[in-house]
Amino acid sequence: MESLGSYLKGFLFFSGSVLQWPGKDPKQFLYFHGYILIVYFIAFIAGLAQSNLDGLIYTAGAIAPIMFAISKGLPLDCLDYKAAIVREEKSRT
């Protein structure tokens, strides 16, 4: 079993990566937030139409990017912070 420090180190690494993301790739950052706004807008319109599809829209909106990333070759170790650190070090050189 890993220690709490190991989990904290991974959390801090991914938090730092998220905070650096807008500066490193602003185009991708804007696409992501545009996508979220579109999903909320569609769900809002569905709510105005008095349909019960808003839950389905939120679920599909959350799952679609994950499925898209998997279809484009998301690495299996994408949440392993040690492997992410190695990939980041390789990309810096």
CA 73 to chain centre: 15
By residue count, the chain amounts to: 93
Secondary structure tally for the chain: helices H, strands E:
4, 0
In the predicted structure, residue 1 carries a pLDDT above the cut 60:
no
Give the tens place of pLDDT for each residue, 49-64.
Answer: 888 888 899 999 999 9
Q: Which residue would you say has higher pLDDT here, 69 or 60?
A: 60
Residue that wins the pLDDT comparison between 67 and 18: 67
Please count the structural domains in the chain: 1
Q: Give the single-character DSSP code of 52.
A: S
The confidence band for 85, taking pLDDT boundaries of 50, 70 and 90, is confident
Measured in whole angstroms, how far is the alpha carbon of residue 66 from the centre of its chain?
8
When pLDDT is averaged across residues 24-42 and rounded to a whole number, the result is 90
Secondary structure class of 50 (helix, strand, coil): coil
Three-state SS at 8: helix
Range of the domain at 69: 4-92
What is the reported pLDDT for 2?
Answer: 62
